[in-house]
Amino acid sequence: MNNKRSFTLIEISIALLVLAVGLVSLLALFPVGFDASRKSSDFTEVSTLVQGKLEELKRDGFASLANSSGTFSSTIYNWSVVIVDISSDLRKVTLTVSWTRRGINFSEPFVTYIPKYVP
């Protein structure tokens, strides 16, 4: 009688099946990671652009802000600005950015307050 231990064909087939299921599951995570990376990149770009626009509005000052709204757009992003008087010395500026990526609409509001500066 032969006492050598070895794997049977069934054991090898099951091991290969488990390995294949694991690899397919792992590969399915890559598109999810790429999509999350793209969304993160979009939000970072939007935040940087909005920060610049809000700084322009702050630089122009309280007097240049009318109680109004407006829209403007770039190749990817659509912007809307709403300026509301909170009091005689304070204005609320809401800048909302919207864009479409892969057929999904995204919209993100950014709010700042601009006080009346009296030296």
SS3 call for 76: coil
Q: What is the largest CA-CA distance in the chain?
A: 103
pLDDT of 16: 93
Residue 35 lies in a domain: yes
Residue 3 lies in a domain: no
Give the whole-angstrom CA distance, residue 14 versus residue 26. Answer: 18
Give the whole-angstrom CA distance, residue 4 versus residue 35. Answer: 51
The proportion of the chain whose per-residue pLDDT surpasses 90, expressed as a percent, equals: 13
Q: Where are the alpha helices (DSSP H) in 9-80?
A: 9-60
Residue 69 lies in a domain: yes
Residue 2 lies in a domain: no
pLDDT of 82: 86
pLDDT in tens, 38-77: 888 888 888 888 888 888 888 877 777 765 455 555 668 8
Residue 105 lies in a domain: yes
Work out the average pLDDT over 90-106: 87
Using CA atoms, how far residue 70 sits from 56, 84, 95, in Å, is 15, 12, 10
Give the whole-angstrom CA distance, residue 114 versus residue 92. Answer: 6
Domain count, the chain: 1
Range of the domain at 26: 9-115
